Amino acid sequence: MSNNYLFTSESVTEGHPDKICDQISDAILDAILAQDPASRVAAEVVVNTGLVLVTGEITTKAQVNYVDLVRSKIAEIGYTHAENGFSANSCSVLVALDEQSPDISQGVTSAQEQRENLSESELDQIGAGDQGLMFGYACNETPELMPMPISLAHRISRRLAQVRKQGDLTYLRPDGKTQVSVQYEDGQPVGIDTILVSTQHTETIDDLSDNTAIQKKIKDDLWSAVIQPTFANLDLKPNDRTRFLVNPTGKFVVGGPQGDSGLTGRKIIVDTYGGYSRHGGGAFSGKDPTKVDRSASYACRYVASNIVAAGLADKCEVQVSYAIGVARPVSIFIETFGTAKIAEDSLLDLVKQHFELRPAGIIQTLNLRNLPKERGGRFYQDVAAYGHFGRTDLDLSWEKTDKVELLKDFALSKSAG
């Protein structure tokens, strides 16, 4: 790769059709786990004009009113206006759920699984819920140890939703996408090349009816109400060479599920690292933590973040792979892109020695099943929009860098040896 390049990442708002589905899927998961932590959940959601379909496989003792839950989440997102072609009170909600296949659950289900502080032998008896490969990543480009492009794209998306919900820009509607292109020199972010915002809006704004005038107003308002506040406390800011694009097609009135269908799990790059790191292909939302697509990805992020926070590498990517019904990973791989301060073989030994990567151990270490009561039964649904990683607004176990001192001590012992 050239020393000077542009890298682009995108984010979407919570009103994007695919993100609506992710949030409903995880709201279902939260509601079920709050009542029955032993539940097996794989909840999928489809949305289209005036329609929500909840499907998938769920095995639980919980009693959940799925229709009421779906309508409540849609209203929270902001689809309460009938003219959007999709509204919490008027959309049809269809529920078609089955129980999990016994061929899958037999390798995972165990009477020991619900106990805390499982022994080594017990952890080895509880296998992965599926085969597959997962990645986690961290770098020192931002305080939250995330790549700069996806960090900025998420910040802008969240601010866009904030000004809509606060009523600062009353013509905004829930659907939206953001995209940021960052200029790199010698592997470090040095400038903002392009900012792109596409946001749904009403047909008319104030007394304006001319579309050119409407789009100019939206662009001016977004610059002052969204972009400038987003970058106010950041070192890297747009300058007079930064392109700012808003609704490039000229208007964005028809949006949300009326404009495009949505599906759970279709924004996996937005959910993770914005394309900056590799991805194993598995989505997160709607899956209980026995599904390693979710829990092992969180564990890999936890490993990578601690390695970078400890100063053992500037960038770190961790891959694990699993076989269904088998507890220990089939493989573990560490890549630091030439930035490691100790040998990568030593890093791998460190990970194997100090991090739990067996499915039951991940759930236990990161506390992925017992939802925090102080958040009113909300947990997974809160990461279903604006990214699962780098969330400084949430207290997430996989974002903690609580092994830094241990890793530093390990590095010192290696260098001394």
If we measure between CA atoms, which residue out of 264, 378, 263 comes closest to residue 31? Answer: 378
| Cβ(381)–Cβ(308) below 8 Å | no
Q: In this structure, how many other beta carbons lie within 10 angstroms of the beta carbon of residue 345? A: 10
Conformation bin of residue 145: beta by default, left when phi > 0, alpha when psi is -120 to 50: left
Mind giving me the DSSP string for 366-412? HT-SS--GGGTT-SGGGGSSS-SSS-TTS--GGG--TTHHHHHHHHH
User: Who's near 221: CB < 8 A, 6+ residues apart?
Assistant: 169
DSSP-derived secondary structure letter, 92 = E
HSE at residue 188, side-chain half, CA atoms within 13 A, is: 6
What is the per-residue pLDDT for 111?
A: 44
Question: Where do the structural domains in the chain lie, given as residue ranges?
Answer: 4-10+147-255, 132-141+277-416
- Hey, what amino acid is at 4? N
SS3 at position 193: strand
What is the per-residue pLDDT for 176?
A: 97
Asked if the domains at 4-10+147-255 and 132-141+277-416 fall in one CATH topology, the answer is yes
Mind giving me the DSSP string for 117-165? S--HHHHHHS-BSS-EEEEEEEETTSTTS--HHHHHHHHHHHHHHHHHH
Average pLDDT, consecutive stretches of 10 residues, N- to C-terminus, the chain (417 residues): 88 98 98 93 96 96 96 96 85 90 52 59 78 97 98 98 96 96 96 97 88 94 98 95 95 90 97 97 96 97 98 97 94 96 91 94 92 79 98 95 92 67
Query: What CATH class has 132-141+277-416?
Result: alpha beta
What is the per-residue pLDDT for 377?
A: 77
What is the per-residue pLDDT for 364?
A: 93
pTM of the model: 0.94
CATH number of 4-10+147-255: 3.30.300.10
What is the per-residue pLDDT for 388?
A: 98
- Hey, what amino acid is at 139? C
